[in-house]
Amino acid sequence: MISREDVDHAAMLARLGLTEAEKQLLQTQLSSILEYMQALSQVDTSGIPPTAQVIPLRNVFRADEPATSLSVEDVLSNAPDREDDFFRFPPVFE
Amino acid sequence: MAVTTTYEPVIGLETHVQLMTQSKMFCSCSAAYAGAEPNTHVCPVCLAMPGVLPVMNRLAVEYAFMTGLALNCQIPEASKFDRKNYAYPDLLKGYQISQFDLPFNINGWITVEAEGVTTRVGITRAHLEEDTAKLIHRHDNGDSRSLIDMNRSGVPLLEIVSEPDLRSPAEARAYLQKIRLIVRTLGVSTGNMEEGAMRCDVNVSLRPVGTEKFGTKVEIKNLNSARSVLRALEYEIERQARALDSGELISQETRGWDEDKSVTFSQRSKEEAHDYRFFPEPDLPPVFISAEWVEELRARLPELPDQRRERYVQEFQLSPYDAVQLTSSVEVSHFFEETVRLYPNPKTVANWIEGDLFRILRERDTEIDTLPMGPPQLVELLQLIDRGTISHGTAKEVLEDAAFSGKSPASIVKEKGLTQISDTEELNRAAAAAIAANPQALADYKAGKKQAMGFLTGQVMRATGGKANPALVNEILRAHLDKA
């Protein structure tokens, strides 16, 4: 069972504003997902080196050649808000 | 209150270096963001649209490895990229592609010269990542908002992390300057801190001298010149020493540097701040580097600063001090070598560059490569001295002029009428006049006081407006004195 603090923390990291009801629901759902994933720990992995990738590829590169980018209108077409040719956000300060 | 305990600062640096590629790290957008119209170098990959596939820029990867080799790093056979997750608008996709537990380069070292002492500084790691977007903050009519320009987002960035081996602000500055010199020598970055092509975070803690245990460290973020590294550290060390002396605890935090007020200030406390949830980047296959590839890259390394310094000692018989001075920047060493090629007297050339030329550069706060004067003019100046056309003293004056006008020293000498007087008749008259006007000096000379000679030489030099050939003046004076 994951704790209520875990839910709060994960929501904060993802910048999700959750209602009390949603938090309770997610606590239950996330717990059962993690429980289900526990099945993996039953597999004997001794002697198998850890891997970060399951695709049999390595060293995939491209040449350092610039290509045309999108138009500013296309770049900003999904922006929730814009000002001039910028994405516009609520103020953030360092 | 004065600081009573003697503390030793323990300093480590994280330096971010933008690599000088044409295109971005994981997409083909132009990396030339400086001066570009906002959001014109952006594509679905750097915007992280669903379904896009980042692909590594081979040149950026090679530059990262070459820098690692120049930093004496080990290059593990296998490396990978990871996602560093954090929510801040300088990353629209919510994560930065970086390297977590398998970076490209590990366990290196460089040497750093500060205040006459050479120190070996460990390099923990040098890993490749992508730069972030540029934020602009606007406030007007009671309205505050942040704006994002994505052009810089995705430009290749090499993060070089040092061991906490630095013990003074001067060493930290020298370390940063050395890193800059190395990346500029390699040609992998402009190293231009004012333009943000190189940026630096500093970690610093204090411990009582003679103790081993590290104190609580403070991170100072976003220092944008070698000078601000020096000054921020000087301030921060003093602040921590005072706090420790009065029994306060140093809180582990991130601080900013206010250049105008010359103070560091608290930004956020570390405990609450970061939980990056690194995980392997699923879209990028791992990188395997073979011994052959490493050797191929090693063969592409140019002469590095330490090798160049060593060569100056061997090839030009210069002192280690001179060699450090003359290899302090790529431009200075080019200037020196080109001058020596045309005028094969390294020690003389070294003296002029390190003495008068460096003084001129300091006074005018400029760099050797921005002077209109080049090596041919310095050579011409040295030849004018050798031929006896001008004195050493006059040459300094001519250099000052030539450095900023770019005019040929010979034409300056001609224009200003600075040609040295080697006309014996004129000098004979001046010598006789000086002796006649200073009978005491003559008496002193006869009494064996050799300083009298120097005094009289000075009188003749003054009478001729400093243009007399000093060697000739000496000779003529001695002849006059001996027969007087």
Final residue of a domain: which of B384, B399, B416? B416
Looking at CA atoms only, how far is residue A79 from chain B in angstroms?
Answer: 10
End position of a domain, from candidates B416, B436, B468: B416
Q: Are residues B367 and B458 in the same domain?
A: no
Q: Is residue B126 part of a domain?
A: yes
Other Cβ atoms closer than 10 A to B417? 8
Burial A74-89 (b: 16+ CB within 10 A, else e): ebbeeeeebbeebbbb
> Of A29 and B142, which is predicted with more confidence?
A29
| Segment A81-90, tens digit of pLDDT | 999 999 999 9
Task: Indicate which CATH number applies to the domain containing B478.
Answer: 1.10.10.410
B136 and B170 in a single domain? The answer is yes
Q: Strand B56-57 and strand A61-62: pairing?
A: parallel
Q: Tell me, what's the pLDDT at B271? A: 46
Has residue B425 got a pLDDT over 80?
Answer: no
Q: Which residues of A touch B57 (CB under 8 A)?
A: 61-62, 64
Tell me if ipTM is over 0.85. yes
Element (H, E) at B118: strand B117-130
Q: What residue in A sits closest to B254 (Cα-Cα)?
A: A94
Mean pLDDT of the B453-474 span: 83
How sure is the predictor about B273, in pLDDT bands with cuts at 50, 70 and 90? low
CA angle B38/B43/B47 to nearest 5° reads: 85
Q: Residue B61: is its pLDDT beyond 70?
A: yes
Comparing CB atoms, the residue among B40, B92, B135 nearest residue A69 is B40
Q: Are residues B331 and B474 in the same domain?
A: no
Residue-wise pLDDT for B464-478, tens only, equals: 877 777 788 888 888
Residues B285 and B309 in one domain: no
pLDDT beyond 60 at A94: no
- Closest chain B residue to A68, measured at CA: B29
- Is the Cβ pair B59, A63 closer than 8 Å? yes
Binary contact (A62, B28; C-beta < 8 A): yes
Amino acid present at B378 = L
Query: Is B298 contained in some domain?
Result: no
CA-to-CA distance for B408 and B416, rounded, in angstroms? 12
What domain count does chain B have?
3
Chain B residue numbers with beta carbons less than 8 Å from the beta carbon of A72 are: 37-40
Last residue of a domain, one of B416, B438, B461: B416
Residue B368 sits in the same domain as residue B242: no
Phi, psi dihedrals of residue B460, rounded to the nearest 5° = -70, -40
Do B453 and B326 share a structural domain? no
In angstroms, the CA B483 to CA A62 distance is 87
Instruction: For residue range B322-367, list pLDDT tens digits in order.
Output: 999 999 999 999 999 999 999 999 999 999 999 999 999 999 888 8
Query: What pLDDT is attached to residue B192?
Result: 93
CB-based contacts of B77, cutoff 8 Å, min separation 6: B288, B289, B290
Whole-number pLDDT of residue B2:
55
Distance from CA of B142 to the nearest CA of A (A): 12
Task: At B331, give phi and psi (nearest 5°).
Answer: -70, -40
| Whole-number pLDDT of residue B422 | 67
Closest to A61 (Cβ–Cβ): which among B58, B136, B150? B58
Query: What would the pLDDT profile of A36-52 be if each residue is shown by its tens digit?
Result: 999 998 999 999 888 88
Chain A positions in Cβ-Cβ contact with residue B23 (cut-off 8 Å): 64-67
Q: How confident is the model at residue B79 (pLDDT cuts 50, 70, 90)?
A: very high
Does a structural domain hold residue B456?
yes
Q: Which residues of B touch A61 (CB under 8 A)?
A: 55-58, 61
Total CB pairs under 8 A between chain A and B: 126
Residues B252 and B360 in one domain: no
pLDDT, tens digit, 9 for 90 and up, residues B178-199: 999 999 999 999 999 989 999 9
Residue range(s) defining the domain that contains residue B443: 424-483
Looking at the structure, do residues B207 and B324 belong to the same domain, yes or no? no
Same domain membership, residue B280 and residue B310: no
Question: Is the domain of B324 the same as that of B348?
Answer: yes
Does a structural domain hold residue B215?
Answer: yes
Chain A positions touching chain B (beta carbons under 8 Å): 9, 13-15, 52-53, 55, 57-67, 69-70, 72, 75-76, 83-94
SS3 of residue A10 by DSSP = helix
Q: What is the mean pLDDT of residues B253-257?
A: 92
Distance CA B7, CA B171 (A): 16
Q: Which residues of A touch B22 (CB under 8 A)?
A: 64-66
Taking contacts as CB-CB distances below 8 angstroms, the residues of chain B near A64 are: 21-23, 57-60
Out of A14, A59, A86, name the one closest to residue B287 (CB): A59
What's the CA gap between B165 and B120, in Å, rounded? 8
The pair phi, psi for residue A3, each rounded to 5°, is -80, 165
Q: What percent of chain B has pLDDT over 70?
A: 97
Same domain for B412 and B428, yes or no, is no
Is B299 part of any domain?
A: no
The answer to pTM > 0.95 is no
